[in-house]
Structure 1
Amino acid sequence: MAKQQESNQWQRNQLWEDEINLLKGIADEAGLTETVKWGGIVYTYKGKNVVGIGGFKEYFTLWFFKGVFLRDEAGVLVNANEENTKSLRQWRFNHMREVDRKLVLQYLLEAIEVEKAGLEIKPEKKQTVIPALLQDALDKDNDLATAFQQLTPYKQREYCEHIESAKREETKLSRLEKCLEGILQGKGLHDKYR
């Protein structure tokens, strides 16, 4: 099992082997538990993700899963993806000499306290907006309406977004026609790929 996990590790980690080992040593010092998730090194506290360590082409990094809650007094954390990331924050390094062991340990210990406190950003519930064409079809066909209501909210959104994302009215109608059978069968739009 360990051999399989090692083979799944991010390939970029080999570019920063000594640097990543330094960060791993500090995480061990903080009392975190090392594991591998999503093919990368992740440290946990009581089974909860606290920090990941990885290498990329231009830098190696710590990413704090709940970094948004850290005080970041040194101003070192960045949001790597503004549109998609609410809580995660990265601390990037370009050279081993940039790693201040004491400061990294301080951030790790604070991240553990954040986890102990149970702080988290709750995911926003997405509202399903039913396109007019689909709503009209649902209003006209009780079986279709019942089948649609029995789909999970995720599957309902898949159909709605697929139909509504078309630019031309003809394409929307075509997509609607193709979706009707799947809805009646209780299938999601992309079930065949799952």
Structure 2
Amino acid sequence: MNESIKNDKVDAFIERLDQWQDAFKVLRNIINQTELTEDYKWMHPCYTLDNKNVVIIQDFKHYCALLFEKGAIMKDPYHTLIQQTKNVQAARQLRFESLDEIEQRKDEIAWYVEEAIRVEKSGEKVPMKTTEEFDMPEELKNKLEASSELKEAFNNLTPGRQRQYMYYIGQAKRASTRENRVEKYINHILEGKGMNDK
């Protein structure tokens, strides 16, 4: 590894890991053989090209992963890229359950990192769904239909804020929870705020 491209924050992060420490070191070494720049964002090692995020190393309880920011438009000859949930549009993961698995898949991993670089250099964009293409939870739809003021306020929100509400409300399994989530954010919507706005 070229020591000059190592990031001190990534060093510190890896040293603090209880699980996946050796796995992160191997993944880091594979990525650092490329032209990507090592950075530390969102509390994880992040690798960029011309300041654009290309791949992030992630740790979870049962696996670690490489998250490719534009994975949806990458070629996937090994059929191993995973869409975490149906609502994730652009990113895709390569998941690993052990250090041995990473060691066995080194060539595949290197191929995917190079493919991610190729996609970033191409300038190709991931086609994103419009707000209208997302499923509107019935509970939110009913509330909007019952109040023209609320409907107008919701329609005046940015598409991103609308999607955020639809996703959050729709994620609840029980109808009562979805109803409660709608009620909780009515005032926010009326004030033109997103879920996280104060």
What's the TM-score, normalizing by structure 1? 0.64
Work out the CA distance in 1 between the residues paired with 2:122 and 2:76. Answer: 17
Using the TM superposition, give the Cα deviation of residue 108 of structure 1 relative to its aligned residue in structure 2, in angstroms: 1.1
| Corresponding residue to 2:25 among 11, 21, 24 | 21
Work out the CA distance in 1 between the residues paired with 2:21 and 2:128. Answer: 35
Work out the CA distance in 1 between the residues paired with 2:12 and 2:27. Answer: 19
- In the alignment, structure 1 segments of 5+ residues that lack a partner are 139-143
Query: Does structure 1 conserve the Cα–Cα contact (< 8 Å) formed by 2:68 and 2:92?
Result: yes
Equivalent residue pairs, number: 176
Work out the CA distance in 2 between the residues paired with 1:156 and 1:54. Answer: 28
Give the 3 Å change call, closer, same or farther, for CA 10–38 of structure 1 in structure 2. farther
Query: Does structure 1 conserve the Cα–Cα contact (< 8 Å) formed by 2:39 and 2:46?
Result: yes
| Corresponding residue to 2:82 among 79, 82, 86 | 79
* Corresponding residue for residue 59 of structure 2: 55
What's the TM-score, normalizing by structure 2? 0.63
Using the TM superposition, give the Cα deviation of residue 30 of structure 1 relative to its aligned residue in structure 2, in angstroms: 0.9
Moved beyond 6 Å, runs of 4+: none
Using the TM superposition, give the Cα deviation of residue 121 of structure 1 relative to its aligned residue in structure 2, in angstroms: 1.8
State the identity %.
Answer: 24
Larger radius of gyration: 1
Q: Does 1:113 align with 2:118?
A: yes
| Corresponding residue to 1:126 among 121, 124, 131 | 131
Q: Does 1:102 align with 2:107?
A: yes
Work out the CA distance in 2 between the residues paired with 1:69 and 1:89. Answer: 9
CA RMSD of aligned residues (A): 4.3
Using the TM superposition, give the Cα deviation of residue 102 of structure 1 relative to its aligned residue in structure 2, in angstroms: 3.2
SS at match of 1:119: coil
Q: What amino acid does structure 2 have at the position aligned with 1:81?
A: Q
- 1:7-46 deviations in Å (ceiling 9; x for gaps): 9959994311122111111111111111122211111111
* Corresponding residue for residue 3 of structure 2: none
Q: Does 1:35 align with 2:50?
A: no
- In the alignment, structure 2 segments of 5+ residues that lack a partner are 1-6
